[in-house]
């Protein structure tokens, strides 16, 4: 059966894409880290993902981050907005087209792109069992099929929500089977609520018997990798103590008690063009931060 696909009406604002097309370095005012700018028409593409934990609360932080990180595509999760109130015009003013799938509750996913956006699929592909929540949106951006995903938390191993999580991950693979093939240019980005390995935890002993680290969850993630996806960040950086999420409580961020659960999974062809990646800890600092930091990867045009 054909997937549910909708088209996007483009409303580009003249001059904005060229205004951010100058090669160089930009410094974030919140910290000393340097983030290389990627011009709109350069030989590279920058793909990013960020669980913003309420876009209404975090919109100024997202706008600031777009202003210095300049991703070509940004996948957002946990917007907690309905489609009717998603701030399309705010992102258009920064040179980004956007699509959103949300119902105003605890979920909500979006894709922002300055390299075009077409063939949008809200939720899972049509022949996959539908999801009652708004946790996945897919679109083609700059020739790459992008999915922004917010995998269920699972809550606890004896919870029905844990079984829902495992089922959801299986349906995500079915979704990819319908819309793509492993040899296609594909990126699945988002909050997976799974730490792929113990190296992705500040202390594996603290998570014994918990979700995010169970054998079944990790097996579901490995199934996606067996299908043909590569953990882009890990391919570049195999070392430990590299996290993307820190709980608000107990000073976890300042003590660096984190988890790496925000992933960019790319097809093997794209993985050959990976050049650089970053977890931007500066975006986790300051006023009203999300409990997640944005993660992004850079790809050479030959692969992208």
The CA distance from 147 to 187, in Å, is 6
Residue 26 has pLDDT above 70, yes or no: no
Residue 84 lies in a domain: yes
What pLDDT does residue 25 have? 31
For residue 30, the model assigns a pLDDT of 35
Count structural domains, the chain. Answer: 1
Question: Residue 60 domain-assigned?
Answer: yes
The model's pLDDT over 271-284, given as tens digits with 9 standing for 90+, comes to 999 999 999 999 99
CATH code assigned at 208: 3.60.10.10
Please determine, for residue 22, whether its predicted confidence score (pLDDT) is greater than 80.
no
* Residue 58 tokens, joined: 């975090």
Give the containing element (helix H, strand E) for 216: helix 215-227
Q: Does residue 9 fall inside a structural domain?
A: no
* pLDDT the model gives residue 14: 29
Structure tokens at 206: 């603290």
Let me know if residue 228 belongs to a domain: yes
What is the rounded average pLDDT of the residues 121-128? 97
Residue where the block lists tokens 């090669």: 23
Beta bridge partners of 44: 300
Domain membership flag for residue 150: yes
Give yes or no for residue 227 having a pLDDT over 90: yes
| Arithmetic mean of pLDDT over the chain | 89
CA angle 86, 87, 88 (to 5 degrees): 100
More confident site: 19 or 283: 283
Cβ(48)–Cβ(69) below 8 Å: yes
Contacts of 227 (CB under 8 A, 6+ apart): 173, 176, 177, 182
Averaged pLDDT, 122-145: 97
- Does residue 7 belong to any structural domain of this protein? no
pLDDT in tens, 241-273: 999 999 999 899 999 999 999 999 999 999 999
Q: Any idea which of 35-39, 130-134, 271-275 has the lowest mean pLDDT? A: 35-39
- Whole-angstrom distance, CA of residue 41 vs CA of residue 60: 26
For the chain, where are the E strands, in sequence order? Answer: 24-27, 34-37, 44-51, 73-77, 97-101, 109-113, 118-122, 136-141, 144-150, 186-191, 229-231, 262-267, 274-279, 295-300
Greater pLDDT, 16 or 134: 134
Contacts of residue 219, defined as CB under 8 A and 6 or more positions apart, other chains included, come to none
Q: Count the Cβ atoms, other than its own, within 10 Å of residue 28.
A: 19
Question: Is pLDDT above 70 for 34?
Answer: no
> Residue 4 has what pLDDT?
53
Answer whether residue 210 shows pLDDT above 90: yes
Under 8 Å between Cβ of 74 and 50: yes
Residue-wise pLDDT tens digits, 62-77? 999 999 999 999 999 9
- For residue 31, the model assigns a pLDDT of 35
Structural domain containing residue 233: 46-300
- Tell me: the pLDDT tens digits for 279-298? 999 999 999 999 999 999 99
Structure tokens, 251: 């000073």
DSSP string over 147-211: EEEE-----STTSHHHHHHHHHHHHHHHHHHHH--TTS-EEEEEE-S--SSGGGBS-GGGGTT-T
């Amino acid at each position: 059966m054909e997937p549910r696909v909708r088209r996007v009406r483009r409303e580009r604002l003249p001059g904005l894409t060229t205004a951010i097309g100058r090669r160089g370095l930009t410094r974030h005012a919140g910290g000393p880290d340097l983030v290389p700018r990627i011009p709109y028409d350069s030989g590279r593409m920058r793909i990013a993902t960020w669980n913003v934990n309420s876009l209404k609360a975090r919109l100024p932080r997202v706008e600031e981050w777009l202003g210095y990180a300049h991703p070509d595509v940004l996948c957002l999760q946990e917007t907690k907005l309905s489609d009717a109130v998603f701030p399309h015009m705010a992102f258009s003013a920064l040179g980004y087209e956007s699509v959103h799938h949300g119902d105003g509750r605890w979920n909500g996913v979006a894709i922002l792109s300055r390299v075009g956006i077409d063939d949008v699929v809200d939720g899972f592909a049509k022949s996959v069992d539908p999801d009652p929540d708004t946790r996945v949106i897919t679109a083609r951006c700059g020739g790459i099929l992008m999915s922004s995903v917010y995998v269920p938390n699972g809550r606890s191993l004896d919870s029905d929500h844990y079984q829902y999580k495992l089922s959801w991950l299986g349906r995500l693979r079915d979704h990819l089977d319908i819309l793509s093939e492993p040899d296609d240019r594909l990126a699945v980005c988002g909050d997976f609520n799974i730490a792929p390995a113990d190296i992705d935890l500040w202390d594996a002993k603290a998570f014994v018997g918990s979700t995010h680290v169970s054998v079944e969850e990790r097996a579901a993630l490995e199934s996606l990798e067996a299908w043909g996806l590569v953990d882009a960040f890990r391919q570049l950086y195999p070392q430990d103590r590299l996290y993307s999420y820190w709980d608000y409580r107990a000073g976890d961020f300042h003590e660096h008690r984190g988890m790496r659960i925000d992933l960019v999974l790319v097809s093997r062809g794209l993985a050959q063009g990976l050049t650089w990646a970053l977890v931007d800890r500066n975006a986790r600092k300051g006023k009203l931060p999300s409990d997640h930091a944005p993660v992004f990867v850079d790809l050479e045009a030959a692969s992208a």
